[in-house]
Structure 1
Amino acid sequence: MTTSIFSQRTISAIYQEIREVYRSNAMPWVIGYSGGKDSTASLQLIWCALRELPPDQLTKPIYVIATDTLVETPLIVDHVNDNLGKIGRVAREAGLPLTVHRLTPAMRDSFWVNLIGRGYPTPHSRFRWCTERLKIKPADTFILSKVAQHGEVVLVLGQRRSESNARAQVMDDYKITGYRLSRHSTLPRAYVYTPIEDFATDDVWSYLLSLPSPWGGNNRDLASLYRSAQSGECPLVVDLSTPSCGNSRFGCWVCTVVERDRSMEALIDNGEEWMTPMLEFRDFLAATQDPERRKEVRDYRRRDGQVHFRKRGQGELLIRGPYRLAFRKELLTRLLSAQRQVQRDGPDPHYELISADELYEIRRLWRVEAHDWEDAVPEIYRQATGRDLPWPQDDGAIFGANERAVLAQICAEEEVPLDLMLALIESQRQASGLGGRTQIHARIDEVLRSEWRSEAEVVTAVEAHQQWIEGRLATA
C-alpha cells in the first residue's frame, strides 16, 4: 500500500518549500498546464503558496503554458480553455505575476497538414512523428524564447515518481544533488521543478477535492470527466523521454499509437454520442496500419521519389511511403463529413475538426507536391459541407484539369510517365524565380533521379536483383 505524502509532510510545509524555491533565484517559471489532475494540482499548489507572499517578493514572472495540438478531445479543449480564461483573469485581479499562453503547432507541423497534405502515414509506436511536431516544438519554442529573454528558466511540471519506474529513473538521472531543481534533458539553461513528484494518485485527488480551486475552476467536474473517460491525462511533452499518452490519456482524438481509444469509447458510452463520427474516423485511420491495407492506400515510393525495400522473406518486399493522393482525398472527404455530423449533433454548431487555414495549406501542398492540377480541395469541401470558403488566389497555378488531360494523352502516346512530366513542369515553375542555372539543374536532376517505373516493374527488378545476389553468394 502506498504511503500518503500527507502522512509525512503537511500542506503548509509543501507550500513553504514552493515559496523557498521561488525566492531562491531570479529565474522565471514556466508552468506546464494540460488541464489534467497532475498539472492542475501543481498549479494550484503554486498559486496557493505564492499568494501568501508580500507583493515585493513576487519579483519574477510566471508563464502558464498549455499546448493545444488542434486535435485534442473536444471536451478537454473546452475544459482547458475555460480554465485558462479564469486563471489569467483571476491572477490579474489577485496581483500575481502570472500570465497564460495557449500554444499551437506551426501550420506546417499540424496533424492534418502532414497526414492529408503530405501523406504521412498515421502514427504508430515505431513512427510517432506527431509528438515532436504537435507538442514538443511549440513548448520548446516558447521556453527557449524565455531563455533568450531572461537567461535561464525553471520549467514546472506535474510529474510524479509513482507514474512508472521509467519516469522515476528519468527524474533521478537529471537530479542536481542538494537542490530541488533538475537539469532539463535537452534544453540548455532550463531547469525542472516537480512539486508533486512524491505524490501518489490518491494524494493528488485528495488535495484537489479537499481544497477549492483558487481561480474558480471546479475540481469535482474534473473528477467527473476522469470517471466518464476512465482515463489519465496527457502531460505537457517537452522532450522525447516523456512517454506517449498511450493507454492512459486525455489526448488527441485521432491517436492511433494505441490499438483502441478506450477514453473516447468511454465518453461515448457515458452520454457523449455526438463524438461517434470522430471515433469511427479514428478507427478508419488505425485500420490503414494493417499490412494488407498498406498496399491499397500507400505509395510504393517515398516522399523523395526513391524506393526502399526489404530482403525477400522478411515481409512485404517494398517499404511503403506516404498515402496515395486518391486516398488522401478520401480521408479529407470522410473528415469533413465527420465534422458536419459533429456540428449537427454536438453542443457547438461551429466546432471544427480541421481549420480553414489547414485546408488552404493542404490545397497548396497537393498542387505543388502531388501535382493536383484538378484543384480537388475546394470541390471536396463543397461536396462534403454544402458551403464554400474564400480560397486564396493561387497566382502560380497556370494549369488545370483540361491541361492535365491533354498532357496525359501525349504522355501515353509517347510512352512517357505522366508523373515524371508533371514533376518536371512543377520543378521548372518553382525554379523560375531562382537566381542561377545551377539550382534549376539541381531540381531537374533530383526529379530525374526519382523512381518512375511502375510498382510492378520495380518489384520485378528488385526480386531479380536479390535473386542474382543470392545466387552469387551461394556459389562464392
Structure 2
Amino acid sequence: MTTRHGLPSESHSVFDTKTIDDIYAEIREVYASSKMPWVIGYSGGKDSTATLQLVWYALASLPVEQRHKPVYVIASDTLVETPVIVDYLNATLSQINQAAKAAQMPVEAQKVVPQTTDTFWVNLIGRGYPAPNQRFRWCTERMKINPANRFILDRAAEFGEVVMVLGGRKSESASRAQVLNSHHGKVTGSRLRRHHILTRAYVYTPVEDFTTDDVWTYLLGVASPWGSNNRDLAALYRSAQSGECPLVVDDTTPSCGNSRFGCWTCTVVTRDKSMEAMIDNGEEWMLPLLEFRDWLADTQDPAKKHLFREHKRRTGQVSVKDGKLIRGPYKLEFCKEILRRLLDTQNQVRAEGPDANQELISAAELHEIRRIWRTERQDWDDAVPQIYAEMTGRTLDWLQDDIGAFSAQEYRVLDEICQEQQIPTDLVARLLEQERQLQGMHRRAGIFQRIDDVLGEEWRDETTIREAYNIPLLAAVEEAGS
C-alpha cells in the first residue's frame, strides 16, 4: 500500500492519538525540563528533517527569553559522501543558520568530519585496509561514530551533560523497535533515556512513534521553517528508491550502502542502487564514481584476494583459520594503483560534472598517506608526489625530510645486498627506519623495544608459510579460482 505521495504506507498513525500541537507541547516540555543543551543529528533525510522541523516549530512558539539553551545541529560528512548530497547538505546547513539568526532561534548547524588519520582514503590507500564489508566495517567507527561522539563529548565537557535528539523510529526495523521499546536506561517520569555508551549523554527521539507515512504527511503538509522544499526531498526518495543514512553514534546502526544519503565508496552492499538511480536520472557525470566503486568492490572476490592483499596482517603476523590463509592489507603496489585510479576519477568528474574543482581526496590526506608509506611501508621511492604529478600535472607543497630519508636508489642497493645474504629486504628496511625515526633524539628510550617488535614479525615468504602450515600453494589456489 502506498500513500498519495507515492511513498510506503504503514498503519497505526501517531496522529490517531496525538495532534501536531500535542507533539510540539511535548518537545517544549522536554526542552524546558533541564539545562542540558541539545544536539540534533541531521543527515538531510526525511526522519532527521522531520525531527529538526518539529523541534524548530515547537521552540519558535516560546518567548525568546525562554529559548534558554543552545540547540546544536550536526551533520556527519565522512568526506566520501555522494557529491550531490554534500552540496545539498552544505546549502541546507547554511539556510538553517541564516534562518536561525533571523528568527532569534538558539540553533547552530555545522558538519562534523573525521580526523585526517581516520579518513577513508588514509586507511584504505595509506594503511592498506581492504574495502569494507559486512564482517569488517572498519569505516563506520572512524568516519561516523568518532566525529559525532567527539562533538557530543566536547559539549558534555562544556555543559556537564547533553541531550542527543535523534530521528529514530520504531517502525524502521524490528531491532530499532526493540531498542526504543526497551525500558533499559529510561529516566523515570521523562521521555529521555540514558545513552548506552556515552555516560554524560541522554537520548530523546520525538518521532519514535511516527510511521513512514506520518513523516511524509508532516513534511509535505508543513513548510520548512528554514526555506527548504520538502517536496524536493520526497522526489529525491522516489527517484532513488532508497532510505536515509542517520547520524551514527554507535555500532548498532545498519549500513547506509543502499541509501542516497551515504558514501559513494560504500562496498558493504553488492550494488550501489542509489548511485545507479542518480545516473539514470540525469547525473551521468557520476558514472566514473560508480565504476571506481565497483572496481574496488571487485577486490573482495575471494578468488582474487591474493592478487591485491598481503599474506600477513598489519600486525606483521600470519593468521591461518580452518586451513586457510587469512589475508591482510592491500599490497603497497596495489595501493599505488588505487591512488592513480582515484586521481583519474577526480579528473573525470571535474571535466564532466558541475564542479570543476571537485575534490575526492584532500591535500591533507595525500600528505598523511605519503607519511604512512614512507615510515611504515618502506616506500623509499616516495611515490605519492610522483603519482600526484603524473595524474594531475600539478605538485603540492610536499614536506622535505631534513633528517635524510632513504631513496629509491638506496633501496635497490640494499635489496641486492639482502638477496645475496638471503635476508628479507623489508626486514632490514624496517630496522633502518626505526633507527632513522629516533635519529637526533636526546632520549632514545624504546629503540630496543621497537627493534624487538620488528624482529618478532613473520618474515618468511608466502610459499614458505604455506608449506609450513600445509596450505595449498598459491599456484593451486589460482588454478582453483580460474
1:44 is aligned with what amino acid? Q
3-state DSSP of counterpart to 1:432: coil
Equivalences for 1:141-160 in 2 at 5 Å? 141-160=150-169
Is residue 2:455 matched to residue 1:413? no
* 2:378 aligned partner: 371
What per-residue deviation string (whole Å, max 9, x for no partner) do you get for residues 68-96 of structure 1?
A: 00000111111111010011111011111
Moved more, 30-39 or 438-447: 438-447
Matched, 1:261 2:272: yes
Cα separation, 2, equivalents of 1:212 and 1:393: 55
Q: Distance in 2 between matches of 1:202 and 1:311?
A: 49
Q: Partners in 2 of 1:396 and 1:37 — Cα distance?
A: 53
Contact 2:76-2:147 at 8 Å conserved across structures: yes
Matches within 5 A, 1:55-134: 55-134=64-143
* Alpha-carbon separation, structure 2, partners of 1:102 and 1:433: 41
CA distance in 2, matches of 1:306, 1:342: 40
Q: Which residue of 2 aligns with 1:285?
A: 296
TM-score by length of 1: 0.94
Q: What is the CA–CA distance in structure 1 between the aligned matches of 2:103 and 2:281, rounded to whole Å?
A: 38
Runs of 5+ unmatched residues, structure 2: 1-9, 472-482
The one-letter code matched in structure 2 to 1:407 is L
Name 2:50's counterpart in structure 1.
Answer: 41
What is the alpha-carbon distance in structure 2 between the residues aligned to residue 337 and residue 258 of structure 1?
Answer: 24
Q: CA deviation at 1:433?
A: 5.1
Shift of 1:247: 3.4
Pairwise CA distance, 1:340: 0.5
User: Sequence identity, in percent?
Assistant: 61
2 CA distance for matches of 1:425 and 1:176?
58
- The number of equivalent residue pairs is 460
Q: Aligned equivalents of 1:238 and 1:249: distance in 2?
A: 19
Aligned pair partner of 1:198 in 179, 187, 209: 209
Aligned ranges 1:47-446 → 2 under 5 Å:
47-173=56-182, 174-312=185-323, 317-432=324-439, 439-446=446-453
Give the CA deviation at 1:248: 4.3
Residue 244 of structure 1: how far off its partner (Å): 2.0
Please give the TM-score of this superposition, normalised by the length of structure 2.
0.93
Query: Structure 1 stretches (4+) deviating beyond 3 angstroms?
Result: 174-178, 246-249, 433-438
What displacement does 1:254 show? Answer: 0.6
Cα gap change, 1:396/1:289 in structure 2, threshold over 3 Å: closer, same or farther?
farther
**Maintained 8 Å contact 2:403/2:439:** no
**Aligned residues of 1:116 and 1:332 also touching (Cα < 8 A):** yes
**Structure 1: tracts of 5 or more residues without a match:** 465-476
Residue number among 5, 10, 13 corresponding to 1:4 in the alignment: 13
Compared CA separation, residues 278 and 246, structure 1 to 2 (3 A): closer
Q: Which residue of 2 aligns with 1:24?
A: 33
Cα distance in structure 1, aligned partners of 2:260 and 2:177: 19
Question: Which residue identity is paired with 1:456?
Answer: T
**Shift in Å, 1:435:** 5.5
Aligned AA for 1:403? E
